A and B are shown apart, each in its own frame.
Chain A
Amino acid sequence: MKLEDLKKIREKAEKDIVLRDGKSRIKVTVGMGTSGIAAGARETLKAFLEEIEKRGLHDVLVTQAGEKGLSSHEPVVTVSEEGKGQVVYGNVTRDVAVKIVAEHLVNGSPVSANIIEVNK
């Protein structure tokens, strides 16, 4: 092994433990209250996890949270970005989730059709 090889292993391995440092660029929070789950939040969550992995976005954190009191818009997803505030999305189906990853997380332009709230 050379020093560069160690560096490569480290770069790869770091991504697998990133959760433990609590550091991330973007945080995606999926509302997983009872009504969220009833509206399919589990699938939404899975879609985010798969899509983010596929694109190798290692600085994105996906977590779950309780009800937000927006049951008519479930599944509700919040995207918070360091220094840029929060965007709350409603009716986030699998397809919308995939779109949010591609447009918001990768390109930085929120998916306006599903936005229900923006907090600066």
Chain B
Amino acid sequence: MKKRLDVLICGGGACLSSHSQDVKNKFIEVLKAKGLTDEINLVETGCMGPCEMGPVMVVYPDGSFYVQLTENDVEPIVEEHFLKGRPYQKKLWAAPEARKIVEEKRQVPFFEKQQKVVLALCGKIDPESVDEYIANRGYEALGKVVTEMTPEAVIEEMLKSGQRGRGGAGFPTGLKWKFGKASEGKQKYIVCNADEGDPGAFMDRAVLEGDPHSVIEGMAIAAYSIGADKGFVYCRAEYPLAIKRLEAALKQARAMGLLGKNIFESGFSFDIEVRMGAGAFVCGEETALMASIEGKRGQPRPKPPFPAQKGLWGHPTVINNVETLAAIRHIILNGADWYASIGTEKSKGTKVFALSGKVVNTGLVEVPMGITLRELLYDIGGGIPNGKKFKAVQTGGPSGGCIPAAHMDTPLDYESLTKLGAIMGSGGVIVLDEDTCMVNVAKFFLEFSVEESCGQCAPCRIGLKQMHDLLEKICEGKGKMEDLDLLESLAHTIKATSLCGLGQTAPNPVLSTMKYFRDEYEAHIKEQRCPAGVCKDLISYVVDESKCIGCTACARTCPVSAISGAPKQKHRIDPSICTRCGSCIVKCPVKAIYIGPGAVKREVESKKLHLEKTL
């Protein structure tokens, strides 16, 4: 029977964890019970993007976009929409500003400004069906390349497209391939970097889970261009679904002869192996990654020689990121000129960003390079939740930096971000609101880098730890103004002398927060005050006695019994016992508890100092 509806349920990581699988199973059950299985096509796809709204689902041909589904929604949707043709309004996407229900996916503001290239098929096809990929011109680019183009012509096309690597450094892909091709060697390799270590980034996982064949096809085209016959995908083991879908895709591709010997009868042979990493951040660095594939300890080595000259087991190796590779087929199919027409002068094409933190629509978005931060956060991201004020975004994770509100109209491209002291990185965008302490954020990222440092070189191993300790001191209200100079000089030394990109970039979060939020650092040091009210040693929780109704809710919830007061009496918090966990604030029905100013804090601190002195 002809199918009259395509029902696509998101099976991306976030939707799976909000129980999309249960919703899907319920659909299977209800469709069966109502005898609709033959006429309705139920497909589980990869990530559709608006992770915050999961589980999400889109119904074609009308394009109704459902959000926050539960098993209870299944019956009414089948009954009303699938049978009677009336979309179930209750769970259609409602734009939060206007509480307006949007009937069609393409009118949802979240999708309107996006331009999907790499993510075009994520959420639109069954990632385990090679047929659905082929239906969308899958493997046509590979076919064209190996039967009609010379490797030189492919590289020329890539150079013309202006594509730059999406793994962080932004190196031109065509140029890297050119070096790989020029290197002498009978054996060459192509490696796909799917380590994705940046906290907050999950685009590579989404591509592998939602459209694995596009990565395979990109690798095969790269391999043909440089003369490699073997490829590796290096993926972290904590991405089991990505690995499963990739393995399934590899199997299908092999079975169809799209991988293996003599592909498209062109004489070109290529196959791919998946290698799992244990999730160390440094193993995303290309030389450490290669060491790990070789079975050695995942440590970086000095460059040159670059991997394209001496890579895996000493053979020329080209390493590209997942998102870089997934875009290749589109460049071949639509032409370099098409790709180069998207984006800005020096940053071509589209970029996937992972929005997280204090923004209404968290999730994955793909936009042309060069759109402004404001468009990204407000038009697509839907702004800051709970009426809070925007403070900054952190891009590029632990290697990146922050951009304050004053630079909201900065175009998102490699150069502009670097100029601001932030970086494009892999595209993680963490949104921070007024309740965020920037010193604490810098400390958080540095803590990550300290833990992930491989320990091989002194600047990174020792220097970062020193920086971290200084930040900790400042957060405790024990910093001195000289510490700021010390932080700065350490940062520059570490950047200049570290062996690999980890140490070379790890001080960035500190430098950029010091640049844009120096007043916050100074408030911590000079006034022992944390303006955002975050640093535990610099705040106190205080009961406003004029508001307290003596309900005892706070006292009962306090885990350390710091709150005293009989029923119907005013309550009081003992700052020397209080751990600043914040649970009382949440419990108070009359909002009588607030975060107190510096004066009380100094008292706390002096007690500490006193203790330390007497010990």
Q: What string of 1s and 0s marks CB contacts (under 8 Å) between A1-33 and chain B?
A: 111001001101110110110101000010011
The CB with the most chain B CB atoms within 10 A, among A3, A9, A53, A63, is that of A3
Enumerate chain A residues within 8 angstroms of B134, measured Cβ to Cβ.
6, 9-10, 13
Enumerate chain A residues within 8 angstroms of B84, measured Cβ to Cβ.
32-34, 37, 64, 66
Enumerate chain A residues within 8 angstroms of B124, measured Cβ to Cβ.
20
Q: How near does chain A come to B7, taking the closest CB pair, in angstroms?
A: 10
Partner among B41, B60, B83 whose Cβ is within 8 Å of the Cβ of A22: B60
The number of A-B residue pairs with CB atoms under 8 Å apart is 99
The CB with the most chain B CB atoms within 10 A, among A14, A33, A34, A52, is that of A14
Partner among B5, B132, B256 whose Cβ is within 8 Å of the Cβ of A13: B132
Chain B residue nearest to A8 (CB atoms) is: B134
Q: Considering the chains assembled together, what is the distance between the CA atoms of A52 and B38 in angstroms?
A: 14
CB within 8 Å for A46 and B63 given contacts A10-B140, A16-B131, A63-B85: no
Does chain B have a CB within 8 A of A50?
Answer: yes
Q: Considering the chains assembled together, what is the distance between the CA atoms of A2 and B147 in angstroms?
A: 10
Does chain A have a CB within 8 A of B233?
Answer: no
**B4/A24 in contact, CB under 8 A:** no
Enumerate chain A residues within 8 angstroms of B184, measured Cβ to Cβ.
none
**B140/A49 in contact, CB under 8 A:** no
Interface residues of A: mostly helix, strand, loop or mixed? helix
Partner among A14, A24, A34, A52 whose Cβ is within 8 Å of the Cβ of B135: A14
Enumerate chain B residues within 8 angstroms of A106, measured Cβ to Cβ.
none
Q: How near does chain A come to B303, taking the closest CB pair, in angstroms?
A: 39
CB within 8 Å for A49 and B131 given contacts A2-B264, A17-B6, A63-B85: no
**B62/A63 in contact, CB under 8 A:** yes
Does chain B have a CB within 8 A of A97?
Answer: no
Does chain B have a CB within 8 A of A65?
Answer: yes
Identify which of residues 59-103 in chain B touch chain A, using a CB-to-CB cut-off of 8 Å. 60-63, 82-86
**What range describes how many residues of B lie at the interface?**
35 or more
**What range describes how many residues of A lie at the interface?**
35 or more
Does chain A have a CB within 8 A of B1?
Answer: yes
**A63/B2 in contact, CB under 8 A:** no
List 24 A-B pairs, Cβ < 8 Å: A2-B265, A6-B140, A6-B143, A10-B134, A10-B137, A13-B135, A16-B131, A16-B135, A19-B60, A20-B8, A20-B61, A22-B60, A22-B63, A32-B83, A45-B4, A49-B2, A49-B3, A49-B4, A49-B38, A53-B2, A61-B61, A62-B4, A64-B83, A66-B85
10 tightest Cβ-Cβ pairs between the two chains A and B: A13-B135, A64-B85, A53-B2, A1-B257, A65-B85, A13-B131, A19-B6, A62-B4, A49-B2, A19-B60
Binding site for A on B (CB under 8 A): 1-6, 8, 38-39, 41, 60-63, 82-86, 124-125, 131-132, 134-140, 143, 147, 256-258, 263-265
Binding site for B on A (CB under 8 A): 1-3, 6, 9-10, 12-14, 16-17, 19-20, 22, 24, 29, 32-34, 37, 42, 45-46, 48-50, 52-53, 60-66
